[in-house]
Structure 1
Amino acid sequence: MSTCRLGVLLGDGIGPEITPAAVAVVDAALAAVGAPAIEWVELPMGLAAIPEHGSALPASTLEALAGTDGWLLGPVDGVAYPEPQRSQLNPSGALRKHFDLYANVRPARAFGRAIGRAVVPGADLVIVRENTEGFYADRNTFAGTGEFMPTPDVAVTIGIITRAGVERIAVAAFELARRRRKHLTIVHKANVLRLSMGLFRDVCREVGERYPDVVVDDLHIDAMTVHLVRRGADFDVVVAENMFGDILSDLTGELAGSLGIAPSLNSSDTRAMAQAAHGSAPDIAGRDIANPIAMILSSAMLLDWLGNRRGDERLVDAARVVDDAVRAVVDGGTSTRDLGGTATTSSFMAAVVEHIAAGG
């Protein structure tokens, strides 16, 4: 198989610390399985890009990304941007919208030594979040946003649910469930939003008829939060609209131990973007104490996606090597302070690379 070209967008806040850590771990894993090295293409994005390019997401970056197989996106801190960039769609949302990255897959799996930090020690589930419509006004319309104010005292938000949008995220969720424990839970609020959430629920159920081997149930969003806390280990794959999926995935990240271990992958049928589920943590930026696990595991998800798409088992194996190495290092007693340890960003990365180089 030919060499992969992957973009690298360092991001804001802790991004320039955790994103290079992910690159280093991926390179080590590829070498360990005998896969060709990745051609990394670092591109301007975020606060650092504004002085030179006048934009947090330059047109040249979008053009370059279109020629890659995928990319890593570091955390984004849009509120730190100067105007007019602050009021514009932030790079994360803009990339999802521009490349139609409709599936946001967010696993939540507790770590062995992190059990003391995990609210649900047995958690091993995946939130599959629709990424292009729903109640996220910054990406649910072709032009402008789905928010407006007819008067200074009235604000209106439009939630968009389409059959086509629900069907494709439902297919992605059922395909994932079929590869896991064959259980899918649809999350909605059809008892109140009868038309929009009713359509989401019903189309998911229709898609489910194509997957008779997958057990399907559904829960209202408010009830789901309770069930996750009380019996989160019972869930496998959860599919939800954009905002519900965002909220639930933050919850499940903490239930598993920390948002610092919560990875995610944004994908279409042809492109994918690895992006940690957490934010840019500007309060700890530059101090070498951020947890790089979420970014590292997000990169592993990208390798797995690429390997399955290309039919290259070496990339799939490299993804498994990354995941196993991160967990082995944590189980061995090395972790950053959010998991109760003392490791720095760089020392944790070095420990994972060393574990991989030593053959696991």
Structure 2
Amino acid sequence: MQVAAPYRLGLLHGDGIGPEIVPAAVTVIDAAIARAGAEPFEWVELPIARAAIDEHGTHTPTSTLDALAGLDAWILGPHDSASYPLPHRSQLNPSGTIRKHFDLYANIRPAKAFPGGDAVVPGTDLVIVRENTQGFYADRNTHAGTGEFMPTPDIAMAMGIITRPAVERIARCAFELARRRSKRVTIVHKANVLRLTTGLFHDACREVAGDFPDVVVDDFHIDAMTAHLVRAAGEFDVIVTENMFGDILSDLAGALAGSLGIAPSINSSDSHAMAQAAHGSAPDIAGQNIANPIAMILSGAMLLDWLGARHQDPRLTDAALRIERGVAATVAAGTSTRDLGGTSSTTYVTRAIVAAIR
């Protein structure tokens, strides 16, 4: 009799370099969970992105969303929605569709410099906790419609939304994460100009901070924060901010740590999580076996850590740590793709990480 796997994970390859880096992440995850003594995962491949448009007439089929609801977590490769034919190009993209459907309100984006990884600011080791459902992006500020409109051809307007419940839950996420790290949280806002919206974000975060007296809290305006990161990224630990600011800061932090190719992330709620590298689909290098798989691999490690905490399974937490150490050892040994100054292929880097884990 065949015994069902304890964990079933969705596999969504995406576009561009997705079909190269997603399998790389699976290879590393499988090696890590085996080394940690966990039972093999069951991987469930589902249609998404351009391939789904060609086969199902939509980039995110209802059948895919229904299947994801029955799985423990998912890995999503990058998508190239700008290249989709109309009307798909103008619709909410695959990542946004999944994120909105499952209310994945927390986008957790670490930026960590590895020795040998060509970091702009060595010593960078921070996490940006980005509120993922509201703010000023047009796909996240209305129940229906885009949140952007044009009263005349020469006037374009956009709305933003900040609500106390959404801020409180992302703030708690940030403070709980800080307790696992260095117990420091930085709130990023623009309350001197956007007094009501980001002012509410700042104030609600400060109120939540009262429940975490062991965590040190400070705050900066978004413009000042960009300068602080460039000059001294190593001084920050957990940064919590609204959607657009978090998007900008995480790209900056990833570059400071060495490359967006090593910038992982997960999108999560209290009950669902999706691993998704912070970078794009890089169609210009797709199919050449030169893409950096590390961001996707580390996103997979974050997913293991989330699963380990949710199911109180120390084997998955151990596997996540093994991946992080394997990546660090591989980069330190000089094995890296060209974005980190190396010459190795996607496949070679993946094999080296697996060897380091084993």
TM-score (norm 2): 0.98
State the SS of the aligned residue for 1:238. strand
Does the CA-based 8 Å contact 2:48-2:94 persist in structure 1? yes
Q: Which residue of 1 aligns with 2:154?
A: 153
Does the CA-based 8 Å contact 2:5-2:41 persist in structure 1? no
Q: Quote the offset at 1:140 in angstroms.
A: 2.0
Matched, 1:30 2:24: no
The 5 A counterparts of 1:1-360 are: 3-114=6-117, 117-357=118-358
State the SS of the aligned residue for 1:17. helix
Does the CA-based 8 Å contact 2:5-2:40 persist in structure 1? no
State the SS of the aligned residue for 1:68. coil
| Counterpart code for 1:349 | T
Q: Quote the offset at 1:2 in angstroms.
A: 6.1
CA deviation vs aligned residue, 1:96-125 (integer Å, no higher than 9, x gap):
1110000000000001011xx211101000
| Counterpart code for 1:314 | R
Matches of 1:227 and 1:310, distance apart in 2:
37
Q: Quote the offset at 1:150 in angstroms.
A: 1.4
State the SS of the aligned residue for 2:44. strand
Does the CA-based 8 Å contact 2:121-2:256 persist in structure 1? yes
TM-score (norm 1): 0.97
Matches of 1:196 and 1:291, distance apart in 2:
38
Q: Which runs of 4+ in 1 moved over 2 A?
A: none
CA deviation vs aligned residue, 1:228-285 (integer Å, no higher than 9, x gap):
0011110000001000000000000000000000000100000000000000001100
Does the CA-based 8 Å contact 2:5-2:42 persist in structure 1? no
| Counterpart code for 1:77 | D
Matches of 2:95 and 2:181, distance apart in 1:
28
Alignment RMSD, CA only?
0.9
Give unpaired runs (5+ residues) of structure 2. none
| Counterpart code for 1:28 | A
Matches of 1:252 and 1:21, distance apart in 2:
24
| Counterpart code for 1:53 | H
CA deviation vs aligned residue, 1:288-339 (integer Å, no higher than 9, x gap):
0000000000000000000000000000000011111111111111111111
| Counterpart code for 1:294 | A
Matches of 2:12 and 2:210, distance apart in 1:
40
Aligned residues: 355
Matches of 2:6 and 2:331, distance apart in 1:
31
Matches of 2:198 and 2:266, distance apart in 1:
24
State the SS of the aligned residue for 1:186. strand
Matches of 1:140 and 1:58, distance apart in 2:
23
